[in-house]
Structure 1
């Protein structure tokens, strides 16, 4: 029996498909702060070059099938804030509603713990992205701040955004 998908590190060979997915997503202007007209070089720098790790979710147990999603894992801040990570996830439109965002988020939490991160923070969850807000809450993230009119939605104008946070380790093990 084969697995329906595999999450693995992104390779150079994955980039053309990842770029196509990201470009289409960011052009929508409704979930990510990247400008719809962002260039491939700008997105590559942010999605592939800067993060600690970039992953792809591909169909099939060998991870070579159709690209279904991607995510990045990086420190949320440098230096004294580097124990908190940040992630961003994108699922291909035709694969949405199949639990893949949930699978990538759960995978990212395991990876983050293995890398030594103590918590995960999402800095700009668009309030109108109700599916994502519901999912992150179900996976244990709390809304710790509301940023009034912090996102310029391409169809709705200025809308609120949330900062969402989850501790990844037992709170008793955190340094005082």
Structure 2
């Protein structure tokens, strides 16, 4: 699957893409503001967490021939919960503001619709990640709850994790 949103091209990730994903994955995790992954993951450990297998998938956003973002998506839960999707996103900090996150968001929503999901649920959007919260709200996601003090932000200390939902 390949999609284009202006200069951003989104396509299925390959194993060869991991070498370009891992540097920004590591930087984002080390920043300590948006993901609860453990610090110090090896490339292999991180790839096992990020590179999904069917029925889920991982895609990349390519800008000017370089992988600058990635999203993983699929069912939020197995079995009786597999009609609700979920996703996670990372954008290379050096390209923030270039529309990569917005392009990935639109792509993920379109993919979930095309695959027949009835909704998308994000389980853990850090409340102080206001850019992400605003982005999801601009696509119609609603905050349906916040788990207080569930994330240890390097900058803000204990902050809440939003559960966000979009009916499809």
TM-score, structure 1 as length reference: 0.87
Report what 2:63 is aligned to: 59
SS at match of 2:145: strand
Residue 143 of structure 2 is aligned to residue 130 of structure 1: no
Deviation at residue 11 of structure 1 after TM alignment: 0.7
Report what 2:151 is aligned to: 151
Matched positions, count: 162
Report what 2:31 is aligned to: 28
Q: Larger Cα Rg: Structure 1 or Structure 2?
A: 1
| In 1, Cα distance between equivalents of 2:44 and 2:53 | 12
Deviation at residue 50 of structure 1 after TM alignment: 4.7
- Contact 2:8–2:103 (Cα < 8 Å) also in 1: no
SS at match of 2:87: strand
SS at match of 2:107: helix
Deviations 1:146-166 (A, max 9, x none): 110010112222111100000
TM-score, structure 2 as length reference: 0.91
- Map 1:158-173 to 2 at 5 A: 158-168=158-168
Query: Any unmatched runs of 5+ in structure 2?
Result: 1-5
Deviation at residue 105 of structure 1 after TM alignment: 0.7
| In 1, Cα distance between equivalents of 2:37 and 2:88 | 12
Report what 1:107 is aligned to: 107
Q: Per residue, is there more strand in 1 or in 2?
A: 2
Large movers: runs of 4+ above 3 Å: none
